[in-house]
Amino acid sequence: MPTYDFDLFTIGAGSGGVRASRMAAAFGAKTVVAEDRYLGGTCVNVGCIPKKLLVYASEFGEGFSDAAGFGWGLGTRTHDWKKLIANKNTEIHRLNGVYRRLLTESGANIIEGRATLLDAHTLEINGKRYTSKYVLIATGSWPVVPKTPGSDLAITSNEAFFLEERPQRVILVGGGYIAVEFAGIFHGLGSQVALIHRGPKVLRGFDEDLRDTLGREMTKRGIVLRLNSQIKEIARIGGALRAHLDTDDYIDADVIMYATGRSPNTHGLGLENAGVKLDEHGAVAVDTYSRTSVDNIYAIGDCTNRIMLTPVAIAEGRAVAETLFNNRPMSVDYTGVPSAVFSQPNLATVGLTEAQARAQHGDVLIYKSSFRPLKHTLSGRDETTFMKLVVDRKTDRVLGCHMIGNDAGEIIQGLAVALKCNATKAQFDATIGIHPTAAEEFVTMRTPA
C-alpha cells in the first residue's frame, strides 16, 4: 500500500478549504493547506466581510439625515475614506490571523505559495514536491472583465477595497449583486454613481417583483441606471475616464468598476496533469460528494460553480471531511439556500421565485405587502419595504419568501428554517407576530394578490 506525505492536501485557504482542512485534521488526518494569496480567501479579504463593513459606513449618511425627524440636530458631517480603509485593513489583518490560528490549532499545516498538480497524488510548491492520498481543490473564483477596448483602465471589486481616495464619480458596470452593492456603497459615501447594465433590470435570477422594486429604490436615491446599455470603449480624457456606450453617448467618471461576474479560478493548477475534467465554464466538474473525475481529488466552493456563496463552500468543506475521514458519507442539500444582497435597501430571498414556482408547481398563490417603514413616518424618507410569499395552492406549502427592506437578510434567515421544515401558509398564519416590526408582515398577509 503506498505511503504519502499527507492524507489531505488542500489548495486554497478560503472559507471552504479551511473548514475542510480543520475538520480533517481534527479527525486525525495529516493535513496541509497551500495558499498563494491570503488566508480567508475572497470572503474575508475582498468579499463579504470588507464589503459589509463598507456598506455599514455608507448607511450612516442616510442615518444622519433621518435623525432630524427624531429631533436630533447634527453639525457639519465629513467622511474620511482613508481612515475607513485603514480600519477595514486592520480588521481583515486580524481575521487573517484568526484563520491561521484555526488551522494550526486544529493540527493542519500551512504552506504559503502556489501549488500545482504533477499527477493525481503529487504536488509541487515553492520548488518542493509532496505526495498526498487525497487532494482538495478550493481555489475560489476571480472577477471577469470583458475584453472591451480600454477595459484595462477599469478596476474590479478586488481593487475597489484598496482605493487611496474615494472617487467623486463612479461607473459600475454590471447588474448583479456586486454591482448594486457597490453602487450603494459609493453613493452612500457621497459619490455620483451611474450603473450600466446590458439587461432591462438588475439582479437577473431574482424574483421579478424584487428586481422592479430595487430598481425604483436605487433611482429614488439618485443612482443613475443605464439599462439595456453596454460600454463599447473606455478612453482616458485628461484626468478622467470616458465610457462610450452603444447608445452613442458617453459618461465621464473618475473610476470605472466592472462587476460583470466571476469565473472559477482553475487556471495554472496543473489539473490537466492529473486528468481532472472541467466543464464548459472552466469549473471543476464534481459529483454529489464533490469528487472530481479523479477518484482521490475533490473540489468545493466557487471553483465548482455550483452556488457561489461562502456558507455553501463551508458546508461542502465539512461534507468532504466527514466523507473522507470520519466514515460518514455526506453531500450538501442545495435546495432552500437563502441569500442576501446588501444593496440599499437590503434584499433577501429563500426558496423559489414566482416564475420558478409556476414552472415547477403550476397553481400557486402569491401574497404581497408593500408599505412605508414605521421609521420613515418621522424621518420623511421615501422608501418602500416589500415582502412576498409564494405558496403552492394544492399543498399550502410556502415555496418562497422574498423581501426588500432594512434587515432583510436577518429576517429571511429565520424564514429559511421554516421553509426547510416545509412550513405551510396556515402555519405562517397561526404564528403571532412581533409588533411593531417589519417581520410580522410575513405572518399577517391574508389575501392573495
**Spatial CB neighbours of 295, under 8 Å, sequence gap ≥ 6:** none
Q: Which three cell numbers stand for residue 221?
A: 436615491
Sheet (strand 398-404) strand order: 339-341, 347-351, 398-404, 385-392, 364-371
* DSSP string for 258-271: E---EEE--TTS-H
Determine contact, residues 37/63, Cβ cutoff 8 Å.
Answer: no
Catalytic residue check, 435: yes
Which strand (E) or helix (H) includes residue 443? Answer: none
- Distances from the Cα of 115 to the Cαs of 103, 200, 324, in angstroms? 18, 42, 21
Q: How far apart are CA 185 and CA 356, in angstroms?
A: 31
Which strand (E) or helix (H) includes residue 413? Answer: helix 408-420
Catalytic residue among 79, 187, 402, 435: 435
Give the residue ranges of DSSP H helices in 194-349.
208-221, 271-274, 310-325
Determine contact, residues 24/324, Cβ cutoff 8 Å.
Answer: yes
DSSP class of 301 = G
- Residues 251, 256, 260: CA angle, nearest 5 degrees: 110
For residue 9, the Cα-to-chain-centroid distance in whole angstroms is 26
**Spatial CB neighbours of 69, under 8 Å, sequence gap ≥ 6:** 378, 379, 380
- Strands, E assignment, 332-384: 339-341, 347-351, 364-371
Three-state SS annotation for 91-109: HHHHHHHHHHHHHHHHCCE
Q: How far apart are CA 223 and CA 220, in angstroms?
A: 7
Q: For 405, phi and psi rounded to 5 degrees?
A: 155, 170
Give the residue ranges of DSSP H helices in 8-47.
15-26, 41-46
Q: How far apart are CA 310 and CA 229, in angstroms?
A: 31
- Catalytically active residues are 435
